[in-house]
Amino acid sequence: MTAVVNLDVPGPTISRHLYGHFAEHLGRCIYDGFYVGEDSALSNIGGIRTDLVQALRALDIPNLRWPGGCFADEYHWRDGIGPKESRPSMVNTHWGNVVENNHFGTHEFMQLCEMLGAEPYISGNVGSGTVQEMSEWVEYLTRSGDSPMSRLRKENGREQPWKVKFWGIGNETWGCGGNMRAEYFADLARQYATYCKNHDDNVLYRVASGARDDDYSWTETLMKSIGSLGGSPGPRDLYQATSFHYYTSAPTWENKGRATSFTDEEYDLTMAKAWRIDEIITGHSRVMDCYDPQARIGLVCDEWGTWWKAEKNTNPRFLFQQNTLRDALVASLHFDIFHRHARRLTMANIAQTVNVLQAMILTEGDRFLLTPTYHVFEMNKGHQDATLLPLHVIQDSARREADGLEFDAVSASASVKDGRVLVSATNLDLHDDARLRLDLRGGPWTLGEARILTAPAVRSHNTFDDPSAVSPQKFDGADRDGDALVVDVPAHSFVTVQLGLQP
């Protein structure tokens, strides 16, 4: 495989927000995950587990989306403020009909963000809420001075307003968020956005709930509602982004396979489906280009990742799944694709951070483990806010095929920041190693540290008894050959290589 990288021809900035996360009131993500309560024997601050926070800080998480997901459109924020003992409880009808006591609410979430060093991304309730309710939540969080909501916030112990930039207007409004038609929601998005105000110097980045997968017509309806074909005079500044969700599942969405026991055919199908996000982002971007050629409106993929059958002996509505090397390779592939779309794609959020779907961390009592996916986020964090160095890998073997879908076995991306280049390369092939030759043009460079994430099998995973079975190792398969960087990427592995640019 070969590719050319022009070190002196920069592409767009890869927003750090492509490395965003998502924590929903679902299963054991918040309760018995991040949040164990102040009386827990586990080390905590305000009920939030400090060991998890410490582990996650190593990922430089840029933003955290909350409280859903489908839960967001059943959530009434006023139930989650004030003294815990007087907060009303509710039933989380979407995720297992469990009782939600609202002990983790706005203040606890903002504290979690502060502890993680992440920006909050709040999903407001359109499906069963009101414009007033959402407007007041923004005011409660972000307004200083004297106002009904800032007074209430102060009564609850928080004098200063918080900074909140990212604001979701609904979630999956085509489905669990209200089963709306695009035309109806497009009007609601304009209305809700109007009353989600910028208070003081807090400037919101409003994200209108967007399409499922490749529903380009949903995106077109949202774009049409704030702009015109041709893009002139530019979209109205009501919402600043539209979103979409895409999950990877095999063999089919209706008949999901298991996280750790899957056939080689299912593995290939997983990768073919993971690659589909490239085509889907391209499709949404093309539609957006017609209405907004300057890319003023962002595209946000605020839910992505693998979705398998829940682990045996767990509540199926809690979506608890193990995480293998296969999941890690799905993640590294997604990041290459996200990087390539950095001009339009402004944010992405993996679903979800702890104990749900493609998690970074799994917990069991006082124990926790870091998943293979966690390690991809850590190994790739140098791409955050770096400048893309566009590259196109020319494959020297035939494209792989699974169930009629074709895909490339090798993927790579590169970026530069502060004089350091980070190259990421993924070899999806189950059996064959790949030699990747990157012809680096445009200036002298030195070879730095290289790391690899791999394991004897793609089904390998970390357990509470063997938490480091899949973890990054030093890699000596990268070398220079004249001006070329040659990386021997073993079968089913993810590699990162750092280079230094000489002034």
State the catalytic residues: 172, 303
Q: How many CA atoms lie within 13 A of 276 on its CB side?
A: 23
Question: Interaction with ligand AHR in 460-499: which residues (CB under 6 A)?
Answer: none
Please say whether the beta carbons of 360 and 373 come within 8 A: yes
Q: How far is the CB of 253 from ligand AHR (least distance, A)?
A: 11
d(CA 232, CA 235): 8
Q: Segment near ligand AHR (CB under 6 A), from 156-164, 351-359, 435-443, 453-461?
A: 351-359
Q: Which of 20, 68, 80, 235 binds ligand AHR (CB under 6 A)?
A: 68
Binding-site size for ligand AHR (CB under 6 A) equals 10
Question: Interaction with ligand AHR in 2-31: which residues (CB under 6 A)?
Answer: 24
Dihedral, CA of residue 314, residue 319, residue 322 and residue 323, to nearest 10:
180
DSSP lists the bridge partners of residue 329 as none
Residue 351 engages ligand AHR in binding (rule: CB under 6 A): yes
CB of 163 or CB of 212, closer to ligand AHR: 212
What is the DSSP secondary structure assignment for residue 41, as one 8-state letter? S
DSSP lists the bridge partners of residue 13 as 387
Residue 257 engages ligand AHR in binding (rule: CB under 6 A): no
Q: Which of 172, 220, 278, 336 binds ligand AHR (CB under 6 A)?
A: 172
Residue 429 engages ligand AHR in binding (rule: CB under 6 A): no
What is the DSSP secondary structure assignment for residue 13, as one 8-state letter? B
CB of 171 or CB of 424, closer to ligand AHR: 171
Q: Which of 32, 100, 136, 303 binds ligand AHR (CB under 6 A)?
A: 303
Residue 69 engages ligand AHR in binding (rule: CB under 6 A): yes
CB of 172 or CB of 408, closer to ligand AHR: 172
Q: Segment near ligand AHR (CB under 6 A), from 65-73, 215-223, 422-430, 435-443?
A: 65-73
d(CA 126, CA 16): 28
479: Cα separation from own chain's centroid:
32
Q: What angle do CA 270, 26, 350 make, to 5 degrees?
A: 40
Please say whether the beta carbons of 217 and 171 come within 8 A: no
Q: How far is the CB of 354 from ligand AHR (least distance, A)?
A: 13
Q: How many CA atoms lie within 13 A of 42 on its CB side?
A: 21
- Which residues contact residue 90 at a Cβ distance below 8 angstroms, ignoring those fewer than 6 apart? 74, 76, 79, 99, 100, 102
Q: Which of 102, 142, 171, 240 binds ligand AHR (CB under 6 A)?
A: 171
Taking residues 219 to 248 in sequence order and writing x for each that binds ligand AHR by CB under 6 A, - otherwise, the string is ------------------------------
Q: Please, is 336 exposed, middle or buried when counting C-beta atoms within 10 Å of its C-beta (0-12, 13-18, 19+)?
A: buried
CB of 353 or CB of 426, closer to ligand AHR: 353
DSSP lists the bridge partners of residue 496 as 424, 451
Region at 40 (left for phi over 0; alpha for psi -120 to 50; beta for the rest): beta
CB of 24 or CB of 136, closer to ligand AHR: 24
Residue 372 engages ligand AHR in binding (rule: CB under 6 A): no
Q: How far is the CB of 13 from ligand AHR (least distance, A)?
A: 28
Q: How far is the CB of 78 from ligand AHR (least distance, A)?
A: 21
Q: Segment near ligand AHR (CB under 6 A), from 64-72, 144-152, 263-271, 492-500?
A: 64-72
Q: How far is the CB of 282 from ligand AHR (least distance, A)?
A: 22
DSSP lists the bridge partners of residue 422 as 415, 498
Question: Interaction with ligand AHR in 396-415: which residues (CB under 6 A)?
Answer: none
Please say whether the beta carbons of 370 and 361 come within 8 A: yes
Please say whether the beta carbons of 116 and 57 come within 8 A: yes
**Which positions lie near ligand AHR, rule CB under 6 A?**
24, 68-70, 171-172, 303, 351-352, 357
